[in-house]
């Protein structure tokens, strides 16, 4: 696949130690995305990154809801919410971008989830689907039209970002070997990974590997 440096941008979603083995909300094999992301950064002249950035007692934390356990679901004013272990606490080392990630081509970093009453998976909108992060305006002013997404986790923050980007009119690709998923069980033997893939394919999101880009 040929890249257009004027239209294409790499999006690195939540490549933070908090989501890797040893972190507070580990995604299996999550650390493996770092070297792939670095190879991709060598190909893309432009990149952005996001960070989950939560205050203590965030509403998405199971610890904020007495009697609830991580990975249970509850209804909150903005919709259905998975309750997570405390993670990505603002200002902590595990909430920083991974130290081995080469950041010289990352032009903007979007921090999300800092409102204590509202979670945020997508790089474009908080989970109320109304509160914008500002990333769309930045991308449009710069003239980017194709987004290539990598990071953690495939079935949550990467998938929600891809879905919003497609609905906003971007051409979107998920780079599968540069992502890792959580794969929570849903129904009838399916997981959140299965459901995310179905949703994204229905919106025309492409699934590629770093090899397709020559990385």
Q: Could you read off the pLDDT of 81-93 as tens digits, one per residue? A: 999 999 999 999 9
57 band by pLDDT with thresholds 50, 70 and 90: very high
Active-site residues: which are they? Answer: 14, 112, 157
Compute the CA torsion angle 77, 83, 85, 88 (nearest 10 deg). Answer: -40
Structure confidence at residue 79 (pLDDT): 94
What is the pairing mode between strands 206-208 and 79-82? unpaired
Structure confidence at residue 186 (pLDDT): 87
Structure confidence at residue 19 (pLDDT): 98
187 band by pLDDT with thresholds 50, 70 and 90: confident
Structure confidence at residue 193 (pLDDT): 93
Kind and range of the H or E run holding 36 = helix 33-41
Structure confidence at residue 59 (pLDDT): 97
pLDDT in tens, 12-46: 999 999 999 999 999 999 999 999 999 999 999 99
Handedness of CA 166, 4, 135, 183 (dihedral sign): positive
Q: Is the pLDDT of residue 188 over 80?
A: no
Structure confidence at residue 88 (pLDDT): 98
Considering the chain, what percentage of its residues have pLDDT values greater than 70?
A: 100
Span 165-191, average pLDDT: 94
The beta-strand segments (E) located in the chain are 8-13, 47-52, 73-76, 79-82, 106-112, 146-152, 171-180, 206-208
Kind and range of the H or E run holding 136 = helix 135-142
**Average predicted confidence (pLDDT) for the chain:** 96
Q: Count other C-beta atoms under 10 Å from residue 198's C-beta.
A: 10
What is the pairing mode between strands 73-76 and 79-82? antiparallel
Considering the chain, what percentage of its residues have pLDDT values greater than 90?
A: 96
pLDDT in tens, 59-105: 999 999 999 999 999 999 999 999 999 999 999 999 999 999 999 99
Backbone angles phi, psi at 180, to 5 degrees: -140, 150
Fold of 8-56+85-213: Rossmann fold (3.40.50)
């Amino acid at each position: 696949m040929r890249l257009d440096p004027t239209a294409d941008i790499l999006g690195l979603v939540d490549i933070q130690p908090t989501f890797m083995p040893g972190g507070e909300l580990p995604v299996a094999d999550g650390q493996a995305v770092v070297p792939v992301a670095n190879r991709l950064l060598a190909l893309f002249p432009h990149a952005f990154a996001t960070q989950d950035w939560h205050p203590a007692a965030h509403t998405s934390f199971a610890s904020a809801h007495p009697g609830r356990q991580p990975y249970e679901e509850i209804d909150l004013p903005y919709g259905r919410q998975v309750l997570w272990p405390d993670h990505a606490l603002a200002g902590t080392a595990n909430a920083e971008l991974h130290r081995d990630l080469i950041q010289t081509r990352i032009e903007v970093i979007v921090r999300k989830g800092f409102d204590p009453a509202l979670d945020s998976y997508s790089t474009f909108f908080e989970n109320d689907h109304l509160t914008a992060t500002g990333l769309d305006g930045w991308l449009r002013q710069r003239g980017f039209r194709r987004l290539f997404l990598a990071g953690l986790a495939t079935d949550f923050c990467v998938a929600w970002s891809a879905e919003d980007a497609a609905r906003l009119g971007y051409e979107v690709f998920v780079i599968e070997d540069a992502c890792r998923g959580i794969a929570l069980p849903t129904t009838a033997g399916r997981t959140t990974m299965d459901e995310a893939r179905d949703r994204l394919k229905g919106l025309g999101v492409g699934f590629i590997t770093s090899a397709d880009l020559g990385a």
